[in-house]
Amino acid sequence: MTSVLGTGLKPAWSWLGVDIYRIFHLAAVFGLTCVVLKVIQLYHQRQELIKAFSRFPGHPTHWLYGHVHEVGKEQLSQKYPYAFPVWFGSFSAFLNITHPEYAKVLFARGGKSWWKGLLVLHGPKWYQHRKLLTPGFHYDVLKPYVPLIADSTKVMLDKWEQLIAQEKSVELFEHVSLMTLDSIMKCAFSYQSNCQTDRSNSYIQAVFDISYLVNHRLRIFPYHNDLIYWLSPHGFQFRKACQLAHHHTDKVIQERKESLKDEREREKVQKKRHLDFLDILLHAKDENGAGLSDEDLRAEVDTFMFEGHDTTASGISWLLYCMALYPEHQQRCREEIKEILGDRTTIQWDDLGKMTYSTMCIKESLRLYPPVPGVSRQLSKPITFHDGRTLPEGVFETEMIIVCLFSPENVSDRHSHAFLPFAAGSRNCIGQQFAMNELKVALALTLLHFELSPDLANPPIKIPQLVLRSKNGIHLHLKKVL
């Protein structure tokens, strides 16, 4: 059979006025142009970062990984005091802050963050949300949360009582994380999740998956590119987990909204002496009478859920580890708690303010093991530090709370920004009183039930991620208090 080309006839696509080879050529030129422009953009970005960090000496970088394998090493903070650059790959970097004078300047300025919700908003919208949500953390609102937290803690302690019969050390972090999530869902949603006893709940699994995947993405620098991450298996898993979490949050919000349409139910809520976090969000209005949109509602609830349970779980787990390491302080705290409670077996709001020595131990634990080891911001304005060094607008910086805290002075002589477990400035943690209450309740009830001692064969290995965790968990031996 004679080919079309051999007969001198034009191919079918030429009849349509289209030259497919020309299309391929143009596509190749377009693709190459995009690659070249991206390379130029990355080169310019790298040069800008090198210029911005020129006055800040730092650790030598790997040509491909940057400092990815060095992140979290406290030796770098000792070698490069005040601040030093950290590179993720060759084109992304931030300035690591380790000195309270630098932290003071940066917290005073604020700046942009990466996460959506109150945690990450900036400018007028952040101020509007902060103003609307602040009443949700008033003492009168937090008071009824104490028995809810106590109930969740007791469920965890009952599980531990069954585990100690096996005569093995108990890994705390997972149990504590479920307990704090259970508490958050009761306090924020008035929702009984039973997550401590029923791990099959899809929402609970989604929350754990999201926390893990966010940490995982930070450690793999190609995943910092949105397109690469969304096309990856981990990106697909992250989107799926987010969809599950958002579906649950949306469902709870819509069900509460529907119930409030009923006049009797609305009157019942308005007459309630104490509202949960979702009630406050739904009733929040600014000076113009405008409330939060559905998207804003979901963002704030998700922020409160994810950041509230994981950070507090870290704080409680490391606190109990500290108690195990120092049995004399553990016993003194136990005696203080017994004296406060007397014959009672549970804790009340008024008891929390009397836990003087226990509060000192909690703060020392937060100093040594801050739940959030670093706080990241993007500068919205150029900044000059006390030693004359400057940073331009747009640079990302991170205050490393985990190394800022090592100060031997007494509280009265301590720098105002040397102890920052809940950050500082206008963007400090809005839920810090809620977190402190949960730490006190968990400590008190745990020490009433168990004596804690460390598993010397399996000490924790700190890994500072979004929250401070242990690579191998936190294992303690528990002995029932007689």
Residue ranges for the known binding site are: 429
CA distance 298 to 304: 10
Residue ranges of the binding site for heme: 429
The residues that bridge with 165 in the sheet, in sequence order, are none
CA distance 444 to 464: 27
Which amino acid is present at 457? A
CA distance 336 to 63: 55
CA distance 352 to 422: 19
Question: Could you tell me the sign of the dihedral formed by the alpha carbons of 144, 145, 146, 151, in that order?
Answer: positive
Cβ-proximal residues to 302 (8 Å cutoff; 6+ apart), any chain:
117, 245, 246, 249
Which amino acid is present at 145? Y
Strand-strand pairing, 92-97 and 396-400: parallel
Q: For residue 472, what are its two tokens? A: 């191998």
CA distance 354 to 56: 46
Q: For residue 179, what are its two tokens? A: 């307990």
Q: For residue 19, what are its two tokens? A: 């030259």
CA distance 93 to 89: 8
Cα 238–chain centre separation: 16
Of 426, 380, 396, nearest in space to 127 by CA: 426
Of 327, 313, 413, nearest in space to 369 by CA: 313
CA distance 290 to 50: 45
